[in-house]
Amino acid sequence: MDKQLDLKNIVLIGRTFDEYYRMFALDDVLKNETILDVASGVSSFCAEANAKGYNVTASDKIYTCAPSEIGQKCASDLDTVIKQLPDIADLYVWDYFKDIQSLKAQREKAYKSFIEDFKKHGRRRYVPVEYPAADFAHDQFTISLVSHFLFLYEDRLDYSFHRRTVLELLRITSKEIRVFPIVNLKGKRSSLVEPLMYDTDFQPFQISIKKVGYEFMKGANEMLVIKK
């Protein structure tokens, strides 16, 4: 059996602006774009990006919860992941993070930054959404970013869920959608990538796979790009 993180549920793990910048190759994204962070959880991208002058809205079903409740789950989920890492450390590239403790420190910094921004801005910036349905307007955003949600959890989110979520994102996004990573928890290319790329519902759009300058899980260095 292939080694992987043993996760009973989708975990709340915070990632930073710098990670998003690398994961999604954001060097070509201008500050006048309206960006949606999809299933953004406790990442600090929204907080950091807005502080830098970007226009970012975060969306996740957990935003109906109180900051204290979210913080408790963050700490618990991070602890669950960190405890498992020594036994599967060979599945990761220890370049961006030099070791497990530096990874833990950055993850803690990310979710604590998120919580402070969430307390300050609430639903003006953090919108409760339970995908695949969203209440956003048609073409409300120019770019949507999907981090560690689709494909990664293919064992519990089936193809129908992926298809409906992408269709909804196409409704509310005017330019393009970027999804990272396109591997599952075992670090293998998700079996749902190819069916989605060749689904007749998506034929009007340009779908491609692009290599990016970020790799933590081995083999997870590509994003899926859907252009309208």
Q: What is the mean pLDDT of residues 194-214?
A: 96
In a domain, 91, yes or no: yes
3-state secondary structure of 216: coil
| CATH number of the structural domain spanning residue 68 | 3.40.50.150
C-beta neighbour count of 90 within 10 angstroms: 8
Helix (H) or strand (E) holding 55: strand 55-59
Where does residue 132 rank: exposed (0-12), middle (13-18), buried (19+ CB within 10 A)? middle
- What is the per-residue pLDDT for 8? 58
Distances (CA, A) of 207 to 3, 77, 204, 210, 220: 30, 33, 9, 10, 18
Q: Considering the entire predicted model, what is its pTM?
A: 0.94
Q: What is the mean pLDDT of residues 56-66?
A: 96
In a domain, 5, yes or no: no
- What is the per-residue pLDDT for 13? 86
In a domain, 147, yes or no: yes
Tens of pLDDT along 67-81? 999 999 888 889 988
In a domain, 9, yes or no: no
Which range of residues forms the domain containing residue 56?
17-227
In a domain, 10, yes or no: no
C-beta neighbour count of 203 within 10 angstroms: 8
Confirm if 193 and 151 have CB atoms less than 8 A apart: yes
The residues, ordered by sequence, that sit 6+ positions from 39 with a Cβ below 8 Å of its Cβ are: 59, 60, 129, 131, 146, 147, 149
Count the domains in the chain. 1
Place 185 in a pLDDT band, splitting at 50, 70 and 90: confident
Q: What is the mean pLDDT of residues 109-127?
A: 96
- What is the per-residue pLDDT for 193? 98
Q: Average pLDDT, whole number, for the chain?
A: 94
- What is the per-residue pLDDT for 1? 45
In a domain, 8, yes or no: no
- The first and second tokens of residue 127, run together, are 């919108």
In a domain, 41, yes or no: yes
In a domain, 165, yes or no: yes
Residue 172 corresponds to which amino acid? Answer: I
What is the share, in percent, of the chain residues with pLDDT greater than 70? Answer: 96
Helix (H) or strand (E) holding 107: helix 100-121
The DSSP output letter for 16 is -
Where do we find the tokens 């959608």? 177
The residues, ordered by sequence, that sit 6+ positions from 82 with a Cβ below 8 Å of its Cβ are: 100, 103, 104
Rounded-to-integer distance, Cα 21 and Cα 29, Å? 9
Identify the CA nearest to 43 among candidates 98, 117, 103: 117
